[in-house]
Structure 1
């Protein structure tokens, strides 16, 4: 699917970006993300359950870390 989206981007002249479903700028801000999710769903964090992300992996990553996650063949 990534290759198809990159081909479409090239065809349309639009650069592609890997974003990884980021919800916080650093892993350490997960508690804030959980509180905001609880507020959005009108629930205390202790009762938010499956509305919360299961871990703190949805944070911004440095370019070096992204290069390790995405194969060079997918980068343009």
Structure 2
């Protein structure tokens, strides 16, 4: 099962979850999955609302594929 986990909660995959776009209309979930699927790991930058400040900030995600699971961590850039 595919899940998106955000500080605010867990969202089960739907047809639209892989279509999520950032503040610049970039389909970042598709890019994360493509990066993990093609080279196994990498970095994806996108714009997202930081829950600590409620401001849109640049965020970096680091996906890595382990068998059939993609694990991603990330951080907000200042």
Fold shared per TM-score above 0.5: no
TM-score of the aligned structures, taking structure 2 as reference length: 0.20
Comparing both chains, which one has the higher relative contact order based on Cα–Cα distances under 8 Å and sequence gaps of 6 or more? 1
- Structure number, greater radius of gyration: 1
More helix by share: 1
